[in-house]
Structure 1
Amino acid sequence: MNTTTLNKIKTIKTLNNIAESGLNVFGKNDYTLDHESDNPDAIVVRSFNMHAMELGTQLKAIARAGVGVNNIPVDTCTERGIVVFNTPGANANAVKELVLTSLMASSRNLFAGVSWVRSLEGEGAEISKLVEAGKKQFVGKEIKGKTLGVIGLGAIGALVANDALDLDMEVIGFDPFISVDTAWNLSRNIQRAMTIDQLFARADYITVHVPLTDDTRGMFNADAFSIMKPDTYILNFSRGELVNEEDMAKALENGKIGKYITDFPNDTVLKMKNVVPIPHLGASTVESEENCAIMASRQVKEFLETGNIKNSVNFPNASLPYTGKCRITAFHQNIPNMVGKITLAISNYHLNIADMINRSRGDYAYTIIDLDEKINGDVIPSLMEKINDTEGMVTVRII
């Protein structure tokens, strides 16, 4: 059972170097930063592997300053009522810029050309002649007028698609789960593929921006390559496992795939022909790290102080304007009559409900209830215990 009040000093632990601009969000009055704490109220993390960590009894939230949460034991957190946040969109511009940079640079054989020029060190006065004689091996192609296929039109994919249009490319997108917000931000000149095979068949370049799931794992495979044009370029700044590497090696060898540009190099990838391996630089900018840290910290602060949730990967999004009187939050199983049992417990104390919201996500649900008055501190432990004893309840907080 976890309790918190606005007057309680809350402990924040970091597991990686988090940008100072993000940590400054917490201020110095109601929060303390304790990087060694065994029982913090919240953790802000980047890539640190938390699966072997013991999670303290007071832990209420974990914020990933980034998108992927594979380093966090999400299922365990859900069972214990710990909210796991991520920061979608905070690093989108950084990834977009690297995608477009790689698109143009690989088309012009820039990476291979620069590497070759560096190999001429020591040739002295002959370098100019050697460059003029050897540059023909790096003749590339322009992207203007070519077709870019964008798979996944979320925060990153939408930015890539829009900017590719400004580079005079034809753009075709595929995303069966596109959100309304993203749709509003997309240019009307982006063509829609009704199936992913349509995109495979039309694109000269393909960039992928989807999460790794059972459905997307190995989506770039021999069957997919057989549909594509000869010499198609594939850019992968999402997850290495989206690509069947054995099939990719064969497609690169026979020229079906012209180049594979990936942010996820490994020993197998480095042995492939015509690969541009990038050392996982997608979100590695000062601005991106600051944006992620600020967003993660704001989400944690909002949750600890008001119970409102946005961008959680295991809790439903739910928020109400905070009145500062008394708020009860409950995370519970998504089973019938849970809200009725909570409100009945409240009514036993002759307390009036001013507002409430209930949202569900899979097997669990989250309820926020605002009372129209502050309650006596002596009542809080008894009310907490009454609500927490409800069958199916996971965690309860009174703020």
Structure 2
Amino acid sequence: MPKVLISDKLSPRAAEIFRERGIETDVDTGLAPEELKAKIGAYDGLAIRSATKATAEIIAAADNLKVIGRAGIGVDNVDIPAATGRGIVVMNTPHGNSITTAEHTIAMMFASARQIPAADRSTHAGKWEKSRFMGTELTGKVLGVIGCGNIGSIVVERAQGLRMRVIAFDPFLSPDRAEDLDIEKVELDELLARADIITLHVPMTDQTRGIIDAAALAKTKPGVRIINCARGGLVVEEDLKAAIESGHVAGAAFDVFAKEPAKENVLFGMEQVVATPHLGAATAEAQEKVALQVAEQMADYLLTGAVTNALNMPSLSAEEAKRLGPYMQLAEQLGSFAGQLTRTGLTSARIEYEGDVAHLNTRPLTQVMLCGLLQPMLDTVNMVNAPIVARERDIDVAEVKHERDCDYQTLIRLTVTTERGERCVAGTLFGSDKPRLVEVKGISVEATLTPHMLYITNEDKPGFIGALGTTLGDGGVNIATFHLGRAERGSDAIALLELDEAIPADVLGKVRALPHTKQAEALRF
């Protein structure tokens, strides 16, 4: 009989579900790390919320642990690489608190527009300052939604019920999906310029960190309000404070902060800022829902092997895992390569398998490639739910196996279509286990993808490579390897550089400003 430990406060119904399905369950909350370390070796499953820290040390002591289930979306308290190394599946419940978070966003919009917290404090103090708190109607205002995924789309529906006009920026939002939601899809600069209220619903990634900074705020209309119930760090708090003090930004409402728990913050004490302590998921209904979901998911895995909402495992058997390992690494890298270069709406992905790989079970390869493709903008996507996320966003996915001979013993090619065109990338395995990039946009370029890469497309003109090297050298950036390719003389060329460390933003800006540069992107693998 499997045995599960519930180490955080969950709905009592979670323990009942485990026991009803024949799983022995202990509830022991508030354990100190050393206490948890001493107990964990006896359990097959660990059900947690945010209080328990499943560190590498705890995981190392978990000799029998097979699954960690997080009741909620965030898994910052789980060392996923350590869990993966021990063969432990990590699951979460990414959609259980979507409605609650969306409702909190709407509440924060009202609180800011009508200055409810400040008016409440004033009235409790017996001041009755009715003329001081002149509010703003939401009806007829333009709401700019940055990120129109699961939570963002719920916010859209609620805002439309308030008769707001909604525009959205989301590179993964297809025209058909925008039409279904009855919203206008725009680029970020247009959203900043038109929105009366801006609300953020994106994960924290390299592309979204600080997306609302001083430069972005300068593009907004006077009197704009900023709402953030998504992730701390999406808005540069110091820049927002300056914009509020200048009078350009009328107000803000934040449920999340760059550093949490937020005992101190530059925004605290400003009457124009409504602040709550990360309450987005804090409703009885949401907590009940995620507890039930995590119990069902963990029970399914322990009893039948079924995997739902896993963040570190595709759907495949143990026998397949060993053989497919190198192919999965290649597939993930190809997907990530294309995903990090995608800046506009993704409409389709075509995955082609040639040679030896065409005779294998390619379903997990397709899943991990889609995961790599979508993860740069969607941190909730994983190897299991990637196909579902693609369908929800109207991304057409085609998988093709070719029996024909190819130049390599095995070849995987990914072609993505966006609103601006088509891009393809292909790779192979060297020595049967070493992933290697061999083609980008039809141009042959052979490279190993490492943690810090610089990708450049440029016009094939004399002097460009020298100028590029000088710019990087002047910026203190060391080149480990340098790979070049071009379509034909004088046409487009590609440079793919392996760097010893991440390229600083200012140096990347100088690279983009070089004559003949068409695109320059820092990539991470």
**Which residue in the other structure is 1:173 paired with?**
168
- Whether the 8 Å CA contact 1:162–1:187 is kept in 2: the answer is no
Distance (Å, rounded) in 2 between the aligned partners of 1:117 and 1:14: 44
Give the letter aligned to residue 239 of structure 1. R
What secondary structure is seen at the aligned counterpart in 2 of 1:171?
strand
Give the letter aligned to residue 118 of structure 1. H
Cα 1:262–1:29 shift into 2, 3 Å? closer
Cα distance, 1:23 vs. partner?
A: 2.6
- Whether the 8 Å CA contact 2:106–2:155 is kept in 1: the answer is yes
Does residue 1:235 correspond to 2:227, yes or no? Answer: yes
Please, which runs of 5 or more residues in structure 2 have no aligned partner? 29-38, 330-360, 373-381, 385-431, 434-525
Cα 1:179–1:59 shift into 2, 3 Å? farther
Give the letter aligned to residue 38 of structure 1. I
| Deviation digits for residues 28-52 of structure 1 (CA, Å, limit 9, x no counterpart) | 4521112464221111111022226
Cα 1:77–1:179 shift into 2, 3 Å? farther
**Which residue in the other structure is 1:226 paired with?**
218
Counterpart of 1:199 (choices 181, 191, 211) is 191
Cα 1:287–1:331 shift into 2, 3 Å? farther
Cα 1:295–1:29 shift into 2, 3 Å? closer
Cα distance, 1:280 vs. partner?
A: 1.6
Distance (Å, rounded) in 1 between the aligned partners of 2:174 and 2:27: 37
**Which residue in the other structure is 1:369 paired with?**
none
Q: Which structure carries more strand by proportion?
A: 2
- Whether the 8 Å CA contact 1:358–1:365 is kept in 2: the answer is no
What secondary structure is seen at the aligned counterpart in 2 of 1:243?
coil
Cα distance, 1:220 vs. partner?
A: 1.4
Distance (Å, rounded) in 2 between the aligned partners of 1:186 and 1:158: 12
**Which residue in the other structure is 2:245 paired with?**
253
Cα 1:10–1:175 shift into 2, 3 Å? same
Counterpart of 2:139 (choices 123, 140, 144) is 144
Distance (Å, rounded) in 2 between the aligned partners of 1:31 and 1:303: 12
Cα distance, 1:150 vs. partner?
A: 1.0
Does residue 1:50 correspond to 2:43, yes or no? Answer: no
Give the letter aligned to residue 241 of structure 1. G
Quick one: higher RCO (CA 8 Å, sep 6+), 1 or 2? 1
Cα 1:174–1:237 shift into 2, 3 Å? same
Cα 1:221–1:365 shift into 2, 3 Å? closer
**Which residue in the other structure is 2:452 paired with?**
none
| Deviation digits for residues 42-92 of structure 1 (CA, Å, limit 9, x no counterpart) | 111110222264221211111111111111101111222211111111101
Q: What is the Cα-based RMSD across aligned positions, in Å?
A: 2.9
Q: How does 1:92-171 map to 2 (within 5 A)?
A: 92-120=98-126, 131=128, 134-171=129-166
- Whether the 8 Å CA contact 2:90–2:310 is kept in 1: the answer is yes
Distance (Å, rounded) in 2 between the aligned partners of 1:160 and 1:337: 36
Cα 1:173–1:225 shift into 2, 3 Å? same
Cα 1:105–1:29 shift into 2, 3 Å? closer
Distance (Å, rounded) in 1 between the aligned partners of 2:271 and 2:49: 33
Distance (Å, rounded) in 1 between the aligned partners of 2:213 and 2:328: 47
Counterpart of 2:285 (choices 278, 287, 299) is 287
- Whether the 8 Å CA contact 1:252–1:273 is kept in 2: the answer is no
TM-score normalised to structure 2 length: 0.57
Cα 1:315–1:358 shift into 2, 3 Å? same
Counterpart of 1:76 (choices 68, 82, 85) is 82
- Whether the 8 Å CA contact 1:12–1:32 is kept in 2: the answer is yes
**Which residue in the other structure is 2:8 paired with?**
16
- Whether the 8 Å CA contact 2:178–2:185 is kept in 1: the answer is no
- Whether the 8 Å CA contact 2:112–2:272 is kept in 1: the answer is no
Q: How many residues are matched?
A: 322
Please, which runs of 5 or more residues in structure 1 have no aligned partner? 1-8, 121-129, 320-326, 339-355, 367-390, 393-399
Cα distance, 1:200 vs. partner?
A: 1.2
Greater alpha carbon shift after TM alignment, 265-274 vs 41-50: 265-274
What secondary structure is seen at the aligned counterpart in 1 of 2:93?
coil
Cα 1:92–1:185 shift into 2, 3 Å? farther
Give % identity. 34
